[in-house]
Structure 1
Amino acid sequence: MPKPRKAQISLDATPYYHCISRCVRRSFLCGVDHYTGKSYEHRRQWVEDRLILLARTFAIDVCAFAVMSNHTHTVLRINQTKAESWSTREVIERWHGIYAGNALSKRYLSGDTLLEFEQHHLNSLAKLWRARLQDISWFMRSLNEPIARSANQEDQCTGRFWEGRFKCQALLDEQALGVCRIGKTQTILSHIAG
């Protein structure tokens, strides 16, 4: 029986994880559909652009990735030290870079003075958002959902684009890390460093 995701991820064991998301319905993530001749190659850029945004926002490093015709591979490293070094303001700004936040967090960022109970609630939100910004499930959700919406809109269909949740495997040693970097993986660390 498969383990729940929270039992698969243990920073005590390793910060490195290999995640795979696969399309459904003979859907194309990228490449050319040989039956129709339609090219989906532009979607490769969707994935790369989104990965760059998420790597700059989350406390998760993208070590390598590959975009295949119907699935993606990502090698991710959870950077807990980075997340813990962020101020409350930085956590909220990062969260707002991807999600809308709420009226209270928007007021805080605009410089409004908060009442004591509002500040307490905001601190609780920032704690929750800090945890999510170092969570692989939230990272993959933030990667896959916008791509699925865009692909479905472009394909003029509704329903699932991805085959269930992503698959996740811990990379426990250097050999496992090396295997994941071989083949058609692409590094985006040079894009993110700038």
Structure 2
Amino acid sequence: MIRLLDFVFSLLGLVCGSPVLLAIYLIGLADTGSPLFRQERVGRNKKAFVLVKFRTMSVDTASVASHLASTSSITKLGAFLRRTKLDELPQLWNVLKGDMSLVGPRPGLFNQEELIKERDAKSVFTVRPGITGLAQVSNIDMSTPLLLAETDAKMIQNMSLKNYFIYILKTVTGSGSGDRVKN
């Protein structure tokens, strides 16, 4: 049922949101020259997939978790996209393809070995990663791997249609601060 909802909502989001997606893409061309950001992430069963987002940092920023990146690398457009969570919209394509779900653990990078170890121990990789979830609406980011893995496991154990919609609603209404970036 959740996969069907993911498919329908992501398709509707891409179709209905296409004017917004196009506008952000065009503004992003002027901002960085490369508005889309693609990065290999750890997916379900630890299988690699390419996550797509709107670029929020300068093109030459190192490929590290957000909490390890410097705020000076965030562009003006990027700051707006992060604050409004619009940088996440292209991930609807990942959801449509089945690489991700709307709700699930945020996909990490392969170089986040401590997080991978903690998530593996708690069977977090048995589900599709998501655009949002319990950790995101609770202001828990990837800088605390054990807490994040525990929160992800709790979300997975308690996942229901009701919680699926609660996490989406909380995200849309602005709960959670998104990925922190060091100053």
Q: TM-score range by the shorter chain?
A: under 0.3
Instruction: Say which one has the larger Rg.
Output: 1
* Higher-RCO chain (CA-CA 8 Å, sequence separation at least 6): 1
* Superposition TM-score, scaled by structure 1 size: 0.26
Structure (1/2) with the larger helix percentage: 2
Q: Scaled by the length of structure 2, what TM-score is found?
A: 0.27
